[in-house]
């Protein structure tokens, strides 16, 4: 996990491909007008995602010493929850690897706590869904607050020029 995290951190912060991915997530049309090869970038992102999914499948199959197609059916919800809790915006263009790792640890502690407390897997999924919805609402509120502050700054600068 740490090797993948280090590679992902390097790619997203130091490599042009990482900047292209952020640009594509922020605004597809603007990224395209800025010279990002959108199709190639999307293909690479999906390829990397497939590779990482395959690695997770191999790790889980080796831990269980068995393979079943329905083994990871709720893992996507857990992954989304970890990413959103880590500060990545579902609106695109913002996020980071460090926050995602922290979000994964938080979700892991939450799930372990729910198991220890004896909650069913259905209720665990409901609680994870509530956490995702709450994180999205907080993200939207934060974006709106930043936009209001930017407008206030712009108004103050305009009033100061007059």
Break the chain into its structural domains and give their ranges: 1-70, 74-162
Per-residue pLDDT of the chain (162 residues; tens, 9 = 90+): 889 889 999 998 999 999 999 888 878 898 899 899 999 999 999 999 999 889 988 888 888 888 888 887 778 888 888 888 888 877 776 788 999 999 999 888 988 999 999 998 889 888 888 888 888 888 888 888 988 998 988 888 887 765
Q: 78: Cβ–Cβ under 8 A, 6 or more apart, which residues?
A: 107, 111, 128
CA distance 116 to 51: 33
Q: 60: Cβ–Cβ under 8 A, 6 or more apart, which residues?
A: 71, 72
CA distance 84 to 134: 10
CA distance 154 to 148: 10
For the full predicted model, state whether its pTM sits above 0.85.
Answer: no
CA distance 139 to 157: 27
């Amino acid at each position: 996990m740490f090797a993948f995290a280090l590679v992902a951190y390097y790619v997203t912060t130091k490599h042009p491909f990482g900047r292209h991915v952020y640009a594509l997530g922020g605004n597809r049309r603007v990224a395209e007008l800025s010279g990002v090869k959108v199709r190639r970038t999307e293909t690479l992102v999906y390829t990397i995602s497939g590779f990482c999914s395959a690695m997770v499948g191999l790790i889980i199959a080796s831990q269980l010493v068995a393979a079943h197609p329905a083994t990871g059916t709720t893992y996507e919800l857990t992954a989304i929850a970890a990413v959103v809790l880590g500060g990545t915006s579902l609106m695109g263009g913002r996020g980071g690897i460090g926050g995602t790792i922290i979000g994964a640890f938080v979700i892991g502690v939450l799930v372990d706590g729910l198991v220890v407390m004896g909650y069913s897997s259905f209720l665990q999924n409901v609680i994870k869904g509530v956490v995702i919805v709450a994180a999205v609402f907080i993200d939207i509120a934060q974006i709106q607050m930043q936009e209001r502050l930017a407008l206030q700054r712009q108004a103050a600068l305009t009033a100061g020029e007059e």
